[in-house]
Amino acid sequence: MADTVVDAIVIGAGPGGYHAAIRLGQLGKNVVCMDRDEVGGVCLNWGCIPTKALLHVGEVSRHIREADKIGLKVAAPEVDREGVAAFTDSVVKANVGGVNTLFKANNVAFAYGEASFVEPKRVALKKRDGSTETYAAKEAVVIATGSAPVDVKAWPRDGETIINSDDAVRLKKIPKSLLVIGGGVIGLEFATVYTRLGAKVLVVEMMPQVLTGTDLEISKTMARILKKQGVEIALGTKVVSLEKTAGGIKAVLNGEFTSNKDESRDFEVALVAVGRRPVTDNLNLAGAGLQTDDKGFIAVDAQRRTPVEGIFAIGDVTGAPLLAHKAMKEGVVAAEVIGGDVSSAYDPIAVPNCVYTDPEVATVGLSEEEAKAAGYELRIGKFPLAASGRARTMNESDGLIKLVGDAKSDLLLGMHIVAPQAESLIGEGVIALEMGATLEDIGLSIHPHPTLTEALMDAAEAAHFKAIHVVNAKPKGGAAAAKAPVAAG
């Protein structure tokens, strides 16, 4: 059978892949996007979207349980697992349907199947019926196959008692007790979900903080809030073993949480959330003349070109950070380069990261620890959410806004938020970093009142000892040190 010839092939229909395919279609390219699963990849079907739907259910459940605090008397919420699943499925289907509509509108063909390279610009697609079709790209192939949860061989996943994040989205029942192995983004998000839905949750993290790599003060703030909500957190602790029992799982823990002694705990379910790995297993990269590094990632340049002419790679297969919005931007860059835009490049100043706990955590730029390690003399502004009038009206006063700046130039280096809607608030930090804003710029900009965004302004003013809504620390060097600095540049 003759090859199906197209201008470009995109392997993977997740956020990066569908962005690349749609942009290629907009540029007039004849493109086929192929995936062994549904359009939307992990993000739309098992990750970003369904988990956020579950988190919303949990957040509403919390608001109902705490309604008496704002003068409302309502019955305690009862979780209808099938109803929650139906809501989550409807959200997923709507998003997947939206991408399919965009594919059609931009003349992007979608093909189900397992793709593998035959030659650098020739791909075989093993379809669901067992047959194989080959495609040839006249111009380029974009690899966008994403990542998958890391499986621990010692703890074989069965999807019911030992699960990964994909399974956690579609559990058949809410466990009475849940062990979460890993205190990173995925672990904390599911700890929040299942605590809200009624499970007793223990998070075990071998490192000395949750959200390793996040600003330490922000990490400690979030851990304190989670503990207040009923989530147990065991830091500096390892899971020595997991053993299936009649009632679920017996886990042996050892570390700071257990006074460095083996301690047995029983759970109905254990969620393994120790990270993700790039998915390149079945691509036959050798057929394309490509190889990966020792962690399985594909090397790319700023235009997302691999070392092989005409082959691009985007998203999680290219390395950290493994974030959907990073993949989306990379997909657009790759498409525009393929379309002939020699200036298009992936060169962000910083990439934001959001953790959809309740409240949320959002960060961009350097943490206090990273900035110190880089040799900066720091100017830091902090604003507790307890001092925010808008937060009080929402009955949401537990959180922190923290800005990290360079004391010499006053340039913003990093923004870190623990607050409701943090995922939206962080956009201001992204723009500020990209535009080279100073703390003074943020403080001088009039923010609407009463809002959560004005807490960013207050934090910037606090950095200069000028905040109105908190008591300012005394500046080193006296009153003269509190004067606004000369803006950088």
Closest among 319, 314, 272 to 294, alpha carbons compared: 319
**Residues forming beta bridges with residue 265, ordered by sequence position:** 251
- DSSP 8-class letter at 484: P
19, 56, 449, 469: which one is catalytic?
A: 449
Between CA 42 and CA 368 the distance in angstroms is 32
Between CA 141 and CA 117 the distance in angstroms is 10
- DSSP 8-class letter at 478: -
For residue 95, report the phi and psi dihedrals to the nearest 5 degrees. -70, -45
User: Which residue shows structure tokens 């009624």?
Assistant: 198
With beta carbons less than 8 A apart as the criterion, state whether 383 and 400 touch.
yes
Between CA 311 and CA 199 the distance in angstroms is 46
**Residues forming beta bridges with residue 8, ordered by sequence position:** 31, 140
User: Which are the contacts of 234, defined by CB distance < 8 A and separation ≥ 6?
Assistant: 202, 203, 204, 205, 253, 255, 256, 257, 258
Between CA 380 and CA 210 the distance in angstroms is 22
With beta carbons less than 8 A apart as the criterion, state whether 271 and 180 touch.
yes
Closest among 152, 146, 265 to 202, alpha carbons compared: 265
User: For the residues of 207-234, what is the DSSP string, one character each?
Assistant: SSSSSTTS-HHHHHHHHHHHHHTT-EEE
Closest among 143, 41, 151 to 96, alpha carbons compared: 41
Between CA 330 and CA 310 the distance in angstroms is 16
CB atoms inside a 10 Å sphere around CB 48: 21
**Residues forming beta bridges with residue 10, ordered by sequence position:** 33, 142
Between CA 423 and CA 184 the distance in angstroms is 17
Residue 226, Ramachandran bin (φ over 0: left; ψ between -120 and 50: alpha; else beta):
alpha
Q: Is 449 a residue of the active site? A: yes
User: For the residues of 321-362, what is the DSSP string, one character each?
Assistant: ---HHHHHHHHHHHHHHHTT-TT-----S---EEE-SSSEEE
3-state SS, residue 253:
strand
- Residues designated as active site: 449
